[in-house]
Amino acid sequence: MGSEARKRSREKLREQREKEKRAAKRNRTLIVVGAAVAVVVLVVGIGYAILNSDRSDGYDGPIAAQTLQDDGSVVMAEEGVSAPVVEVYADYQCPACRQFELLNGDVLKEQAAEGNAVVHFRPVSIFAQQPTPISSNSLRAGAAARAAADHGVFVDYNDTLFENQPAEGREGFSVSDLKEWFRETDATDDQAGEFDERIDAEDAVVTEFTEDFLPALTADATEQIGEANIGTMVLTDLIAWGADNGHDPSFLEGTYTGEIIDATGTAYTRYSGENEFRGTPSVYINGELLDNNTAMTARGLTEAIASAGDGEVDTRPMGEDDGGEAE
């Protein structure tokens, strides 16, 4: 074999070895990637299995009595029962709240119906200061739930709102949908007419608040007291500041939109320390905040209720005077 032939042979051998190295490297990469994908699939699968293992089996039994409270919240409990008080703070635009409802909505109904818990629903709007449509979705749904409570169908309507929660950033909870969903409850035609009137009125309030009042108030406050100071204020405090500085909030008086805003401000100031209200969903048993691992699983919530003592509701039924007699 001549020198040129030997040279070409060596080149071919070198090229072959390079191809084999590249192929081996690709195979190693595919093995690693495949293993990583398998681990991810396994982890996701385990997580999904755990999540579903902690999901309620469903509850189709009777619903405990629903009692509208003087602050617009709703208590679901058997009459005269003494049991742990489970307070649920939720925003209808909050995705985590929807997840809580899917996981534990039936748990709460069953626990209340069996006399094991007094469930205190406290709708709020933590998104009221966000841009539209997030803010308007949140407030409009909260006002609609409050209107449904007037007619004794809060629990069913609460479920429907979460089932139809719009994706964040997308407009939802339209007036027409809110009215249609109410008609899917056990409400009468007369109640539906009253509900419709209320929803139309609240929708106008929500529009004025989110599109006119709040933007003007925020811009003025930013100029006068600074964005940093605004960041330390709850919305009710900002509105109070505005009332003293040329921004009249009287259009909120007597509205369910204003009631939801007030309820949110109260939540932020009611608790302190480890029990401080920071967002939704927040679940308290006898005034103590549950951690997410407990609140967001059926087993965790059920066990927390079972291990708690009797509590007291800190509100009064709507229409009840100081002496406890119904008007």
pLDDT in tens, 86-107: 999 999 999 999 999 999 999 9
Residue 325: inside a domain: no
Residue 324: inside a domain: no
Average pLDDT, the chain: 88
Residue 326: inside a domain: no
Domain count, the chain: 2
Question: For residue 28, what pLDDT is reported?
Answer: 53
Question: For residue 23, what pLDDT is reported?
Answer: 54
Residue 61: inside a domain: no
- 292-310 burial, b at 16+ Cβ within 10 Å, e below that, comes to eebbbbbebbbebbeebee
Mark whether 45 and 192 lie in a shared domain: no
- Using pLDDT thresholds of 50, 70 and 90, give the confidence band for residue 39: very low
Picking from 23-27, 113-117, 146-150, 301-305, which range would have the lowest pLDDT averaged per residue? 23-27
CB 146 within 8 A of CB 256: yes
Q: Between 59 and 223, where is the model more confident?
A: 223
Residue 58: inside a domain: no
Question: For residue 24, what pLDDT is reported?
Answer: 55
Residue 323: inside a domain: no
Strand bridging mode 85-90 / 118-123? parallel
Instruction: Give the start-end residues of each E strand in the chain.
Output: 66-68, 74-76, 85-90, 118-123, 282-285, 288-289
3-state percent helix, strand, coil for the chain, nearest multiple of 5: 60, 10, 35
Angstrom distance (rounded) from CA 286 to CA 55 = 23
Mark whether 94 and 30 lie in a shared domain: no
- Reading the block at residue 147, the tokens are 């209107």
Residue 290: inside a domain: yes
Angstrom distance (rounded) from CA 303 to CA 305 = 5
- Using pLDDT thresholds of 50, 70 and 90, give the confidence band for residue 58: confident
Angstrom distance (rounded) from CA 130 to CA 214 = 10
Mark whether 47 and 183 lie in a shared domain: no
Report the DSSP beta bridge partners of residue 266.
none
Mark whether 35 and 151 lie in a shared domain: no
The residue range of the domain holding 196 is 66-307
CB 311 within 8 A of CB 285: yes
Mark whether 158 and 209 lie in a shared domain: yes
Mark whether 262 and 302 lie in a shared domain: yes
Mark whether 158 and 77 lie in a shared domain: yes
Mark whether 72 and 123 lie in a shared domain: yes
Question: For residue 149, what pLDDT is reported?
Answer: 98
Provide the phi-psi class of 284: left if phi over 0, else alpha when psi is between -120 and 50, else beta: beta
Phi, psi torsion values for 297, nearest 5 degrees = -130, 145
Which stretches within 54-168 are classed as H helix?
Answer: 95-113, 134-149, 154-163
pLDDT above 70 covers a percentage of the chain that reads: 80
Over residues 32-46, mean pLDDT: 41
- Reading the block at residue 43, the tokens are 């982890």
Domain boundary among 29, 53, 77: 53
Please report where in the chains the tokens 């008086």 appear, as a residue.
Answer: 253
Mark whether 105 and 149 lie in a shared domain: yes
Mark whether 212 and 296 lie in a shared domain: yes
Mark whether 127 and 189 lie in a shared domain: yes
CATH of the domain at 155: 3.40.30.10
